Every structure is written in structure tokens, then in C-alpha cells.
Amino acid sequence: MSYVRSSHLAKWWEVQSNGKILCSLCPRYCTIGNGQKGFCYIRENIDNKLYSIGYGRPTGFAVDPIEKKPLSFFYPEQMF
């Protein structure tokens, strides 16, 4: 697959007797077949090895304003 070069071999997994991989990173304990992704869609079974395909890349962005509340409540003597 194309993800092998840009991904990182994951930690906290083991191969089960049925050939699938048991991911033990979170409490979901996903059983991932060859070519499938876990519930998080960030760990994928490629050739019976678990890879983290988001390693070293940002996974989310959020816009957070600096002024969440009006400053008049913090400095009541200085009205705008």
C-alpha cells in the first residue's frame, strides 16, 4: 500500500491466532484484519503489521478566540 513509506510502525499491538491484529492502545481493543483500519482510522494493518498512518502529522485544528469574554468584566473601570 502507499501508506508504508509515510507511516510509522505502531506500538501496543499483537498478532492473534486468527491472523488479525489486536490493537491495545485504547480501551476499544480493535481487532484489525489485513488492509483494514481501526476505529480511530489512524492505525492500519498492512501486511500483518500495525502502522500509525498519522505519525508526525497534525490530526486536528481548532480556532480558539483569544477574547472569549468581554474585557469590560475584567477591567470594569475602563469602559470602551
**In-domain check, residue 43:** yes
Tens digit of each residue's pLDDT (9 = 90 or more) over 14-28: 999 999 999 999 999
pTM: 0.66
- Residue 52 scores a pLDDT above 80: yes
- Give the residue numbers spanning the domain of 44: 8-52
| Beta-sheet strand order (sheet of 21-23) | 13-15, 21-23, 31-32
d(CA 30, CA 61): 26
**In-domain check, residue 17:** yes
Total structural domains within the chain: 1
**In-domain check, residue 14:** yes
